Amino acid sequence: MLVALSIYPFFKGFPQASRVHAAPLAPRRPAAPRPGDTASREAGKLSRKPPHIDRSKLRTVPARRRRSKVKATDEATPHRAGASFAAFLDGLPNLLGAADLRAAIDAAAGARKAGKTLLWGLGAHVVKVGLAPIFVDLIERGYVDGVLMNGAGCVHDLELAMMGRTSEDVAAALDDGTFGMARETAEHLNRAIAAGAREGIGMGAAVARAIESGRYAHKDRSILAGAARRGVPGKVHAAIGNDNHHMHPSADGAARGATSYRDFETLTGLVATLEGGVFFNVGSAVILPEVFLKALALARNLGHRVRRFTTVNLDFIRQYRPSVNVVERPTRLGGRGISLTGHHEILVPLIAAGLVEADRGRRA
């Protein structure tokens, strides 16, 4: 069979090389290995007789002197009907994910008691799975010193405050061309962001102000508005073109860039105070881990001591950027990084309940 191989597009700039045809070649017989070459030596190794395994010569060690990673004291305690949530947490095994869960709760409770900074980065999915009331409660209890959101987070935060529901059916709406075309959502967000740009405030503060001052029937469940009421900085770190309201004619790219950049500067100031504190990244796979890493780099470059702190990443799968930019790299100088893998709608209420119990114990 004749096979013709044309590589004209690649070699068209070379003279006399416009077309190359490969004629059939006779099959070549593999050359026998020469004495002393690598193939011959490898063949010699493989042909040697394996040693006899004599198990009567096995060396043993005393089991009680061997280091063991699991002890009876680490085991779980069965839960009793009517017992408290604090008892439930205490009854978890002191191993792997359960130990990490308690460590995250202890780190946050300890940071608050010591007056250290607690930062929470929230992906949009956190709002979509019904956790806004949990975070508003944590804000009111003093367990939040700063909130980070991506652009989609403020979309869902505003929609829930405005009409008590959010999260459209993307597949169906994409088919008929209506995905992301909600009029009021885009108008309210883009108007708030443009006003924030004119007045020199960040995107998070601008959206929070619009929610707090507007006729929003459910504003009490807005994370951004709840943070603003308590004087807690709420920041939105937006990329361009990845949120629904960016598609609308009311969107202003310059306003978006200016307000989000102000939020980056505010975040850097908060990260500069993170020594001894805790940063939670909840459900953001790319934007918030990258923004946090740059804020940390800038804070350290400007001479702020941010070396020993705890980072906690929560998500239902482990991804590259949260693993390296939240858990590993920032804590190399003496802090601790914790990864908790599971559904947000389960993990976040567990952590929040643990903090509520810790707060009750501190007051008692």
**pLDDT value of position 9:** 43
Q: For 51-94, how does the pLDDT look when each residue is reduced to its tens digit (9 = 90+)?
A: 999 999 999 999 999 999 999 999 899 999 999 999 999 999 99
276 falls within a domain: yes
| 8 A C-beta contact, residue 261 and residue 237 | no
CATH number, residue 94: 3.40.910.10
Is residue 157 in some structural domain? yes
Burial of 23 (0-12, 13-18, 19+ CB in 10 A): exposed
- What is the rounded CA–CA span in Å between residue 102 and residue 91? 11
Q: What's the whole-number mean pLDDT along residues 21-32?
A: 57
What separation in angstroms does the CA of 35 have from each of 40, 41, 49, 107? 6, 8, 20, 66
210 within domain boundaries: yes
The answer to the question of residue 109 being in a domain is yes
- Stretch among 217-221, 248-252, 275-279, 338-342 having the lowest mean pLDDT: 248-252
- Average pLDDT, integer, range 170-183: 81
Q: Is the pLDDT of residue 32 over 70?
A: no
DSSP tag of 72: G
Residue 78 placed within a domain: no
SS3 for 201-214 is: CCHHHHHHHHHHHC
Q: How far from the centroid of its chain's Cα atoms is residue 246's Cα?
A: 23
Q: Which of 114-123, 209-218, 262-271 has the lowest mean pLDDT?
A: 209-218
Q: Take residue 257 and report the two structure tokens written for it.
A: 């860039």
pLDDT of residue 18: 43
Domain that holds residue 307: 83-359
Whether 252 has a pLDDT exceeding 70, the answer reads: yes
Mean pLDDT of the chain: 86
Report whether pLDDT(5) > 70: no
- When pLDDT is averaged across residues 284-295 and rounded to a whole number, the result is 94
pLDDT digits (tens, 9 = 90+) for 344-356: 999 999 999 999 9
- 149-153, 243-247, 304-308: least confident range: 243-247
Task: Examine residue 16 and state whether it is found in any structural domain, yes or no.
Answer: no
N- to C-terminal Cα separation, the chain: 88
Please report the pLDDT score of residue 241 as a whole number.
82
Domain count for the chain:
1
Question: Averaged over 316-336, what is the pLDDT?
Answer: 91
Question: What pLDDT is attached to residue 352?
Answer: 96
The answer to whether residue 70 is domain-embedded is: no
Instruction: Assess if residue 18 is contained within a domain.
Output: no
